[in-house]
Structure 1
Amino acid sequence: MIKPRRLVNLSAGGLSAMALCLVAMLGTSITASADEADAKRLLKAMSDYVAAQQVILFDYDAILEVVTKDEQILALASSGQVTLNRPDKILATRSSGFADVEMSFDGKTLTLLGKNLNLYAQQDVPGTVDNLVDELRKHNRPLPAADLLLADPYEALMEDVVDVKDLGSGVIGGVECDYLAFRKKDVDWQIWIAQGERPYPCRYVISSKSMDGQPEYSIQVRDWKTDDEVAATDFSFKNPSGAKKVDLKALEGADELPKHFQIGGAK
């Protein structure tokens, strides 16, 4: 049996040296094995594969980190499901401890339903899913994994990238993945892509360098399905619960952050 004192000594005295060793090893490994061209090829293969799928369905788990004014990092967890039918239909759900939201888009109308509030809002957004993503960002209501669902994910992901690393492989949810890391001026992002004939994104992490504490947003994909694996979906809004219609700006309690969180400024 290991005595508690032994554990304390390891934590207090050995951890810093161990961390320095890991940093040194990581730096050497990256320098020796980074292959920018190969990383771009793997990302392009994922982008082409995802863009070629007419119908996509997946479940996800997401973590949104927020930094308090006293520099404590808090992680807000949510789960949901996304169904995409190219080029202009999408159904996405997000459930957390403070919100239960359904977003539907039929190529003409965006509907946001706060299930826990029994309220909904609509807005005319004619066009493709790409156009919808742009419109949602204007209202600070991002679509889960939006960058990965565009008609050309590679172009969106690689815009303004200044550094690319191929970090080998990792395992996400039991799936062996290629592990890639990218840097931009304001954000770092990483992606794990399933190896094999279906190179779908298994995990996507974005770190903000413009905010104190560099908070992260991460999304992990589960149960990836495409085309014939996906049952027919109705993307129109039916309002079976008799929810009350409100203005989009009045749909409080359906955001990424709970009501008692206040958004501060970037550094």
Structure 2
Amino acid sequence: MAACGGILALAAAVPGARAAEADAMALLKGMTSYVSAQQELSFRFDADLEVVTSDQQRLTLASSGSVSLDRPGRIRFSRSSGFADLESVFDGSTFTLLGKNANVYMQVPIKGSLETLVDELKDKYRRPLPAADLLLPKAYAELTEGVTDVKDLGSGVVGGVECDHLAFRKKDVDFQIWIAQGDRPYPCRYVITSRTVPRSPQYSIQVSDWKTGSAAVGQNFSFVPPAGARAISHDELKTIKSMGELPSNYILKGNP
């Protein structure tokens, strides 16, 4: 017990010196500047979304996918899990969401940049893009707004890549980020912890196969419906379980 207590005390005493804070902020700034400067990029990801049940059990939903981006306003991304297989395409004027399991797709007109798309999907359709806040030109301002504590935790290794490990605290959330060391400081892992929900569930995303410029893959942003695919409205989308954010056997608290 004494040894365990010592470990806990050591963990709680991670220093937050101003020099370390300045280094952490500089590393985060360097990452966001590097990412926003990439005209073309692509990567694969593995994501974990934690949910808390009504009896306070914490469960994890795992998914994988890919993202391809061509600034200022074209993106293709996919996400596959045990209950959904989705692909989305934005060509600067139209957003398309394809549900491969149900072979249906929804299209809505959205004109503008990636930033416009991300805001509209999040605010109007409640469909945030994976790790989108790391890809936008305003990423540094968004990530650091309201930060109350900053820690530089030294080095860590993610997927075989040595990274700088940073931790930040805001009023309602904590987040950690692991940034690849060297001349390609891309985000290797990003973890968000909600402190306002019981048992503090997390969302985490781990990035792999990071490519930029002419090496970026998936740079086709036109949508061609698969054979037999049916167009649906946004209202109908809500009724198709295989296109939801949760498996069909999960029921949100307060819903029938």
RMSD: 1.5
The residue number in structure 2 matching 1:263 is 252
Whether the aligned pair in 2 keeps the contact of 1:141 and 1:255 (CA below 8 Å) is no
Distance in 2 of aligned mates of 1:220 and 1:17: 35
CA shift digits 1:237-259 (9 cap, x unpaired): 10123311111232222122112
SS of residue in 1 equivalent to 2:13: helix
Distance in 2 of aligned mates of 1:198 and 1:231: 17
Residues 250 and 18 of structure 1: CA distance in aligned 2, closer, same or farther (over 3 Å): farther
Match of 1:222 among 200, 205, 208: 208
The answer to whether 1:196 aligns with 2:182 is: yes
Structure 1 residue 23, shift from structure 2 partner? 1.6
Whether the aligned pair in 1 keeps the contact of 2:76 and 2:218 (CA below 8 Å) is no
Q: Matches of residues 161-200 of structure 1 in structure 2 within 5 Å? A: 161-200=147-186
Structure 1 residue 102, shift from structure 2 partner? 0.1
Contiguous gaps of at least 5 residues in structure 1: 1-15
Distance in 2 of aligned mates of 1:45 and 1:111: 33
SS of residue in 2 equivalent to 1:103: strand
The residue number in structure 1 matching 2:134 is 148
Q: Which moved more, 1:31-40 or 1:163-172?
A: 31-40
Structure 1 residue 29, shift from structure 2 partner? 3.5
Whether the aligned pair in 1 keeps the contact of 2:31 and 2:187 (CA below 8 Å) is yes
Residues 261 and 105 of structure 1: CA distance in aligned 2, closer, same or farther (over 3 Å): same
Distance in 2 of aligned mates of 1:78 and 1:249: 25
Q: Matches of residues 1-267 of structure 1 in structure 2 within 5 Å? A: 16-31=1-16, 35-138=20-123, 139-231=125-217, 233-251=219-237, 252=240, 253-264=242-253
Residues 18 and 75 of structure 1: CA distance in aligned 2, closer, same or farther (over 3 Å): farther
CA shift digits 1:214-234 (9 cap, x unpaired): 100000000000011124622
- Code of the aligned partner of 2:163: C
User: Percent of aligned positions with the same letter in both sequences?
Assistant: 56
Q: Which runs of 4+ in 1 moved over 3 A?
A: 16-19, 31-34
Distance in 2 of aligned mates of 1:67 and 1:189: 19
Structure 1 residue 30, shift from structure 2 partner? 2.7
- Code of the aligned partner of 1:121: M
Whether the aligned pair in 2 keeps the contact of 1:33 and 1:166 (CA below 8 Å) is no
Whether the aligned pair in 1 keeps the contact of 2:96 and 2:108 (CA below 8 Å) is yes
Distance in 1 of aligned mates of 2:152 and 2:168: 9
Whether the aligned pair in 2 keeps the contact of 1:59 and 1:80 (CA below 8 Å) is yes
CA shift digits 1:129-157 (9 cap, x unpaired): 11111111121211010101112210111
Q: Which moved more, 1:190-199 or 1:226-235?
A: 226-235
Instruction: Give the length in aligned residue pairs.
Output: 250
Residues 159 and 264 of structure 1: CA distance in aligned 2, closer, same or farther (over 3 Å): farther
Contiguous gaps of at least 5 residues in structure 2: none
The structure with more radius of gyration:
1
Whether the aligned pair in 2 keeps the contact of 1:34 and 1:167 (CA below 8 Å) is no
SS of residue in 2 equivalent to 1:264: coil
Q: Which moved more, 1:41-50 or 1:237-246?
A: 237-246
The residue number in structure 2 matching 1:4 is none
Whether the aligned pair in 1 keeps the contact of 2:52 and 2:59 (CA below 8 Å) is yes
